[in-house]
């Protein structure tokens, strides 16, 4: 997989304005730069527009201003079903697999455009996620939370994306499963994929991230390298010291 893997493409988001209702944008002005083959994490309080940012990039929320470019190609407001063709995969936070299909059927569906390569890619995915191989005939709805995320990531990888957008991949998982999923995300960059993820689980996410953006009320607040933000006393106080976070 590493040799044939895609080269991660850089993502540029400039002054993005987006929301479901034209006059009430949730994203008011957000700019984000994601370097190729890096992990960038978006954090911020509830309602800051983190998930909306990811959905707007994926074409699932109407964009009314600003631009999104991937490796120099404009993909602003792309139709969601054309995303895969542009090399973007999106892993939603919940309902990110088809529960009524088996694991194998989920993957076959994700691989259906792969043509002759499908078989080889399926084997690669099964090698990478042995638990999925073992349970391939079971209904995906029966998987545990962590395995569900693995399946969702496996489906995302099926299209050999250069960019993967992940919406709170560790939400609802046990600390151990959360760590595994985040480590998996980190590992993907080594094979050439670029990752943009939204997380509530700030401490764990910063540990695996290269760069971090903090959003508040639909706008950029602070950004910097993950290492710098962890060290920053103000950020530490506000985002890493809260009750919620201490519990995790």
3 binds other proteins (CB under 8 A): no
Do β-strands 163-167 and 194-198 pair in parallel, antiparallel, or remain unpaired? parallel
Tell me which stretch binds other proteins (CB under 8 A): 12-20, 107-115, 125-133, 206-214. Answer: 107-115
248 binds other proteins (CB under 8 A): no
In the complex, least distance from residue 24 CB atom to other proteins, rounded to whole angstroms: 11
- List the interface residues with other proteins, window 143-162 (CB under 8 A): 155, 159
In the complex, least distance from residue 235 CB atom to other proteins, rounded to whole angstroms: 32
In the complex, least distance from residue 96 CB atom to other proteins, rounded to whole angstroms: 7
Q: CA of 237: how far to CAs of 109, 210, 231, 242, in Å?
A: 45, 20, 10, 7
Q: What six digits make up the tokens of 88?
A: 């973007």
Residues contacting other proteins: total by CB under 8 A? 27
Residues 200-238: b if buried by 16+ CB within 10 A, e if exposed: bbbebbbbbbbbbbbbeebebbbbeebeebbeeeebeee
- List the interface residues with other proteins, window 28-67 (CB under 8 A): 58, 60
Kindly tell me which residue out of 31, 69, 105, 220 binds other proteins, with binding defined by CB under 8 A. Answer: 105
Largest CA distance in the chain: 53
98 binds other proteins (CB under 8 A): yes
CA-nearest of 80, 27, 73 to 198 is: 27
Q: Which residues contact 23 (CB under 8 A, 6 or more apart)?
A: none
85 binds other proteins (CB under 8 A): yes
119 binds other proteins (CB under 8 A): no
Tell me which stretch binds other proteins (CB under 8 A): 3-11, 95-103, 125-133, 187-195. Answer: 95-103
Tell me which stretch binds other proteins (CB under 8 A): 27-35, 37-45, 84-92, 123-131. Answer: 84-92
Do β-strands 163-167 and 219-225 pair in parallel, antiparallel, or remain unpaired? unpaired
Phi, psi of 217 (to 5 degrees): 50, 45
84 binds other proteins (CB under 8 A): yes
Which residues of this protein are in contact with other proteins, per CB under 8 A? Answer: 23, 58, 60, 80-85, 90, 92, 95-101, 105-106, 108-110, 112-113, 155, 159
């Amino acid at each position: 997989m590493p040799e044939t893997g895609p080269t991660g493409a850089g993502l540029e988001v400039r002054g993005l304005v987006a929301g479901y209702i034209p006059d009430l944008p949730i994203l008011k002005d957000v700019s984000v730069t994601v370097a190729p083959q890096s992990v960038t994490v978006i954090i911020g309080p509830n309602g800051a527009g983190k998930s909306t940012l990811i959905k707007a990039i994926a074409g699932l929320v109407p964009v009314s201003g600003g631009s999104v470019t991937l490796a120099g190609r404009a993909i602003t407001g792309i139709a969601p079903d054309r995303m895969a063709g542009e090399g973007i995969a999106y892993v939603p936070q919940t309902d990110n697999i088809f529960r009524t299909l088996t694991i194998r059927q989920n993957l076959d569906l994700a691989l259906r455009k792969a043509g002759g390569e499908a078989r080889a890619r399926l084997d690669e995915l099964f090698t990478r996620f042995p638990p999925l191989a073992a349970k391939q005939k079971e209904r995906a709805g029966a998987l545990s939370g962590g395995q569900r995320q693995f399946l969702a990531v496996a489906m995302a990888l099926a299209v050999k994306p250069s960019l993967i957008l992940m919406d709170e991949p560790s939400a609802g998982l046990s600390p151990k499963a959360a760590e595994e999923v985040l480590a998996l995300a980190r590992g993907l960059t080594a094979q050439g994929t670029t990752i943009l993820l939204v997380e509530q689980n700030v401490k764990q996410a910063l540990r695996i991230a290269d760069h971090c953006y903090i959003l508040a009320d639909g706008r950029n607040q602070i950004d910097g390298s993950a290492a710098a933000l962890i060290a920053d006393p103000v950020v530490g106080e506000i985002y890493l010291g809260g009750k919620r976070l201490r519990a995790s």
